[in-house]
Amino acid sequence: MKIGIMGGTFDPIHIGHLVAAETVREGLGLDEVWFMPSHIPPHKAEAGFSGEERMHMVELAIGTQPAFRTLDIELRRGGVSYTVDTMSELAGKYPDARFHFIIGTDMVNYLPKWERIEELAGLTRFAAVGRAGYELDKEHLPAAVAEVIDYFDMPQLELSSTEIRGRLKKGRSTRYLVPEKVHDYLQRSGSHAAYAGTTD
Ligand SMILES: Nc1ncnc2c1ncn2[C@@H]1O[C@H](COP(=O)(O)OP(=O)(O)OP(=O)(O)O)[C@@H](O)[C@H]1O
Ligand SMILES: O=C(O)c1ccc[n+]([C@@H]2O[C@H](COP(=O)([O-])O)[C@@H](O)[C@H]2O)c1
């Protein structure tokens, strides 16, 4: 089995995440992509939506693609979600699977700062998808890391969860930027009000 792991904070999930996952699924001929919300992201502020809410929105978002699944391993483990801990747990649980961890090119230059990155590079390959404004730059990476990165072009979507949260805060529309069911959930859950006091 060839499995893509789409890790993220998903605060909330948006169409950029889905296009990234679909691009790599097709490009590598993956059997499945597992969407994995982090508990506490290693290098950024804690999410505004709870883990339960973020997972629920991921479920709503991936509903119609049979190759997409959710993975709650990091939410269940708790604490800071270091990818190396997750991938070594997955390697033990699924010895026959080959994993491809999907990241935007914004994350690539930053890989050397990831927890125990050389160990992680022995546990998974990375599939980097083009993110608007970020060129892939493998030259500054340690060889062991550069070797395990595959690159895929995707339509550039200049979109982030930060943009979605900003819109929610201002009461602006998020329709079409997130899947319809996520949009409806955000409307119903009163998240405009929930985000009114946050700072980003
Ligand atoms: N528009 C996009 N195009 C390509 N990749 C993306 C896009 N948005 C996010 N990603 C990638 O998806 C993964 C998970 O992203 P994450 O959940 O942190 O979303 P984000 O939009 O970057 O969030 P935030 O704005 O809160 O930092 C990361 O590897 C990120 O690079
Ligand atoms: O393990 C690390 O040190 C590490 C550092 C930064 C990001 N990650 C993972 O990369 C994925 C995308 O991160 P983020 O912060 O954009 O949500 C998510 O699964 C994070 O847990 C992992």
Q: pLDDT digits over 33-57, tens only?
A: 999 999 999 988 999 999 999 999 9
Percentage of the chain modeled with pLDDT above 70 = 93
pLDDT (0 to 100) of residue 97 = 98
What phi and psi values does residue 19 have, to the nearest 5 degrees? -65, -40
> If you ran DSSP here, which 8-state letter would residue 113 be given?
G
Q: How many residues does the chain have?
A: 200
Contacts of 26 (CB under 8 A, 6+ apart): none
Specify the pTM. 0.95
Q: If pLDDT is split at 50, 70 and 90, which confidence band does 134 have?
A: low
Nearest to 68 by CA among 103, 31, 37, 93: 31
**Which of 6, 36, 40, 83 is the best mutation target for the ligand 2 pocket, counting ligand atoms within 8 Å of the beta carbon and taking the most?**
83
- Whole-angstrom CA distances from 130 to 16, 106, 197 are 11, 8, 32
pLDDT (0 to 100) of residue 199 = 42
Say how far apart CA 88 and CA 116 lie, in whole Å.
11
- Whole-angstrom CA distances from 58 to 13, 40, 144, 151 are 6, 17, 32, 24
Q: What is the number of the ligand closest to the CA of 155?
A: 1
Q: Does residue 159 line the site of ligand 1, with CB under 6 A?
A: yes
| Mean of pLDDT over the chain | 92
**Which of 18, 24, 110, 131 is the best mutation target for the ligand 1 pocket, counting ligand atoms within 8 Å of the beta carbon and taking the most?**
131
- Per residue in 164-175, pLDDT (tens digit) is 999 999 999 999
Q: If pLDDT is split at 50, 70 and 90, which confidence band does 197 have?
A: very low
Q: Does residue 16 line the site of ligand 1, with CB under 6 A?
A: yes
Residue nearest to atom 7 of ligand 2 (CA): 42
Has the ipTM of the complex gone over 0.95?
yes
Taking the CA of residue 105 as reference, the ligand 1 atom at the shortest distance is 31
> If you ran DSSP here, which 8-state letter would residue 131 be given?
B
Q: Please report how many Cα atoms fall inside a 13 Å half-sphere around the Cα of residue 168, on the Cβ side.
A: 31
Residue nearest to atom 2 of ligand 1 (CA): 16
Instruction: Sort 133 into a burial class: Cβ within 10 Å, 0-12 / 13-18 / 19+.
Output: exposed
